[in-house]
Chain A
Amino acid sequence: MDQKENNSRRNFLDKGLKIGLATAIGSIGFSKLAEALTTQTAKDSTDKMQLMTTNGTLVEVDTSEVVEMINGQAEHIMYNVREGIPNRKFVMVIDLAKCKNALKCQESCNKNHFITGDNPWLKVHKMQADDDTAPYWMPTTCMHCDHPACVSVCPVGATFKRKDGLVLIDNERCIGCRFCMAACPYSTRVFNWSEPDQGDITMDMHMHGEEHYSPEYAGLPSVKGTVDKCDFCPHLIKENELPHCVTACPNGTFYFGDKYEDTVTNGDETLRLSKLLTDRAGFRLMDDLGTRPSVYYLPPVNRLVDFKEGLKNFSEYKTDKKPE
């Protein structure tokens, strides 16, 4: 077992190096041209740093690829942004019985990700499959699919799937073709049609201790002509904090946690994931498409709130104003 663990670690470093140096061999047809061009771009970020790996060897990695996380008591772990936090697999559980469309999640998400466009990343849908079936409120975030259709179709690898389950976007690589948006069956992706109206975002970046743009903090800043979406807040996860929507919800609708640890928490109660899903018949949205989402839903049974209560916060459409 130790052997296996070591292998996977070595693997992790191996891959990290490859990406870091961006000499991956994609289509052989392109690789020659690509190499010529990468050496050029590599010059822009020649900062390399040495990293001590968990089994004691030193490797050299491009600094722009490495981030730091706090693990437990002030133990810092370095990992590759495109690989993800080691030994974790993040999942969310949304309890539809608790949602009453209070929209605090959306409010918090909009504020903390500086979302100023017309389309929030987190939405609460008013769902009713048919007149004969009951309506319910359904919050949707990015599903962070294990088989993400959006990542498959991205021509440049600007959106990527990490080992820890997150699907993130590199807004400095995105070419704005919007193929990922067309591919996503959950319509979760949002495009920056114009220069995002985020005010003095550099000040916000300093406030959050982010010196440079990172795919781990979506919206800080949003980039014109590129795609944005819910990022599961890795900037909070690595500080051992829960995503904004989870902490903002007054009803404890959102549970978040590590699938490997089989534990999710909404901040108030901490539960075994497998037991929760078994007991409450958890399901995933459009699972038949084969996307394998990381977000699970608990059906709206034994509801804590009346559906109608949420209607006061609901408007089918938002005001339609676009900057000229």
Chain B
Amino acid sequence: MKNYDKLLNDLAPQKFGKAGVIWTSSLIVIIIIGLIAYIDQIRKGLVVTNLNDYALWGIYISNFVFFVATSFVASVTVAVLRLTNNSWRTPIVRIAEIIAVACIIMAGLTIMIDMGRPDRLLNLFIYGRMQSPIIWDVIIIPTFMIISLLLLYFPLLPDLAILKTHFKEKNPTLSKWYGRLSLNWTGNPKQTKIQLKSIKIVALLILITGIILQTIDAWLFSTLFRVGWDSTNMGAYFVSGAAVAGLGALVTVVYVLRRAYKLENYITNIHFDKLGKFLALACLVYLYFNINEYLIPEFTSKKEEISHLNLLIDGQFAPLFWLVIIGGLIIPTIILLFKKGRTPFSIFVVGLLVVIGSWWKRYLIVTPTLLHPFLPIQGVPKSWQHYFPSWHEWIITIATLAMALLIITILVRFLPIIPIEKTANEQELLNKNTNS
């Protein structure tokens, strides 16, 4: 048995400090307020939202798309970095896996918030038709959820065994749970062989299903006639956008956890530099698809396309559009292209910009398209020409975001943020190499 004392001291789950308690309890308070708002919504119907027969989808849907996109983080970091043999991934993969689990769970929950009849949820299984992209979503989301849980779980096994011994005296109950969850892990060659093989398979699976999930999400829109959605670009556009959202969320969370748990020795500036480059690449790819999406229709200038684009470029959504494109995509890319821009704090700020930009970007994908249908909006209240979320929508949406953060917080509280066993192995290898 290796000596994990130093590592355990740094990396073993710790009880919440004062800040942690305040953070967690405020999240819980926000979630409770959101729950109350949701119960009110169930009671009164979706009338509590500012949705209408034209703006028939709003932030519930864009928030859902955001969660789905962010859950792509596991595919893009864990799987891609593993397949490309980037060994610097070790200290950040678990965080990525945790974010993915939290986001895909929340994606599943938020889509239900948008339903007019959540009480008829079972109809999806009783009467489901394969022709509907929603059914594809109903299949892929639970699938991706299971896979992301497995992706989190397999590499955790050795760490759980270590924690079992670590907490034996300090906290027997906790230790018992770690023991149970570790599935009698001893680290013998047979177990290790199966585990490594399984990790390889699950990594491949998360990449494939991740791309499928993002594409289906894109098809929810591109299978419809509406201008702004009816685009063959959508699938690739969503996959690349998801990489941006996922990496943005990752760098932000990594920075916060590094500060909160003082992990500077494990997550170094080099890691941020690498992540920064990776994010820059994702942003550039996404920018490329954005140019496809917005510039090419401008060229042919079809009447409906132009009215859609005008809404974004100099119409009612222009301020938001340019904030998202410039603030959430172009400026981050430029910052990240410079070495000085890839310091941890700078990357944290960029990550925040990218995440906020990504969230609003989904709003801009959903809402403006709905506000200019093919036939003119007539004979309905004037307010139906616009859409901005109501208080209920904001409160519920913020609560879902809080719930995602709460899931991350809880997982971080009980699981080692950085893989202990793997780090130990790598250090050992490093020491061997330097000694010899």
Note whether A and B contact each other (Cβ less than 8 A): yes
Interface residues of A (CB under 8 A from B): 22, 26-27, 29-30, 33-34, 37-38, 41, 118-120, 123-127, 140, 149, 152-158, 173-179, 181-183, 185-187, 189-195, 224-227, 286, 289, 315-323
| Cβ-defined contact, A289 with B225, below 8 A | yes
* Contact partners of A176 in chain B: CB under 8 A: 46, 115-117, 120
Q: Select B45's contact among A34, A38, A140, A195, beta carbons within 8 Å.
A: A195
B124 within 8 Å of A (CB atoms): yes
| Cβ-defined contact, A320 with B381, below 8 A | yes
Q: Summarize A's interface: helix, strand, loop or mixed.
A: loop
Rounded to whole angstroms, the CA-CA distance of A286 and B375 in the bound complex is 10
Write the chain B residue with the least CB distance to A286.
Answer: B374
Report B89 CB to chain A, min CB distance, Å.
34
Q: Select A127's contact among B122, B376, B380, beta carbons within 8 Å.
A: B376
Rounded to whole angstroms, the CA-CA distance of A124 and B378 in the bound complex is 9
* Contact partners of A38 in chain B: CB under 8 A: 126
| Cβ-defined contact, A190 with B53, below 8 A | yes
Q: Taking A30-B128, A185-B374 as contacts, is the C-beta distance between A155 and B134 under 8 angstroms?
A: yes
Q: Summarize B's interface: helix, strand, loop or mixed.
A: loop
Report B378 CB to chain A, min CB distance, Å.
6
| Cβ-defined contact, B46 with A193, below 8 A | yes
* Contact partners of A157 in chain B: CB under 8 A: 127, 129
* Contact partners of A320 in chain B: CB under 8 A: 381-383
Query: Among residues 109 to 137 in chain B, which have CB atoms less than 8 Å away from a CB atom of chain A?
Result: 114-117, 120-135
Q: Select A41's contact among B46, B124, B126, beta carbons within 8 Å.
A: B126
* Contact partners of B45 in chain A: CB under 8 A: 192-195, 224-225
| Cβ-defined contact, B379 with A120, below 8 A | yes
Q: Taking A187-B373, A187-B374, A187-B375 as contacts, is the C-beta distance between A34 and B380 under 8 angstroms?
A: no
| Cβ-defined contact, A174 with B116, below 8 A | yes
Report B225 CB to chain A, min CB distance, Å.
4
| Cβ-defined contact, A186 with B374, below 8 A | yes
**Could you list some 8 contacts between A and B, CB below 8 A?**
A27-B130, A118-B52, A153-B132, A154-B132, A158-B127, A185-B225, A190-B53, A286-B374
B208 within 8 Å of A (CB atoms): no
Write the chain A residue with the least CB distance to B134.
Answer: A155
* Contact partners of A33 in chain B: CB under 8 A: 125
| Cβ-defined contact, B374 with A183, below 8 A | no
Residues 375-413 of chain B: 1 if any A CB is under 8 Å from the residue's CB, otherwise 0? 111111111100000000000000000000000000000
Report B104 CB to chain A, min CB distance, Å.
19
Contacts A179-B132, A322-B381 known; list 19 others, CB within 8 Å: A34-B127, A38-B126, A125-B375, A125-B376, A153-B132, A153-B223, A156-B124, A156-B127, A156-B129, A175-B121, A179-B134, A182-B226, A187-B54, A193-B52, A225-B116, A286-B374, A316-B382, A318-B381, A320-B381
Report A116 CB to chain B, min CB distance, Å.
13
Residues 46-65 of chain B: 1 if any A CB is under 8 Å from the residue's CB, otherwise 0? 11010111101100000000
Q: Select A155's contact among B49, B132, B225, B384, beta carbons within 8 Å.
A: B132
Rounded to whole angstroms, the CA-CA distance of A127 and B376 in the bound complex is 8
| Cβ-defined contact, A155 with B124, below 8 A | yes
* Contact partners of A192 in chain B: CB under 8 A: 45, 116
| Cβ-defined contact, A323 with B381, below 8 A | no
Interface residues of B (CB under 8 A from A): 44-47, 49, 51-54, 56-57, 114-117, 120-135, 138-139, 220, 223-226, 370, 373-384
Report A226 CB to chain B, min CB distance, Å.
6
Q: Taking A175-B117, A193-B52 as contacts, is the C-beta distance between A26 and B128 under 8 angstroms?
A: yes
Report A322 CB to chain B, min CB distance, Å.
7
* Contact partners of B121 in chain A: CB under 8 A: 175
Report A31 CB to chain B, min CB distance, Å.
9
Rounded to whole angstroms, the CA-CA distance of A245 and B384 in the bound complex is 26
Rounded to whole angstroms, the CA-CA distance of A118 and B382 in the bound complex is 11
Write the chain B residue with the least CB distance to A122.
Answer: B379
Write the chain A residue with the least CB distance to B47.
Answer: A194
Q: Which 8 A-B pairs have the closest CB atoms?
A: A176-B116, A225-B116, A320-B381, A194-B47, A155-B134, A317-B382, A155-B132, A193-B47
* Contact partners of A185 in chain B: CB under 8 A: 225-226, 373-374
Report A240 CB to chain B, min CB distance, Å.
31
**Max count, chain A CB within 10 A of own CB: residue among B51, B220, B380:** B380
* Contact partners of A26 in chain B: CB under 8 A: 127-130
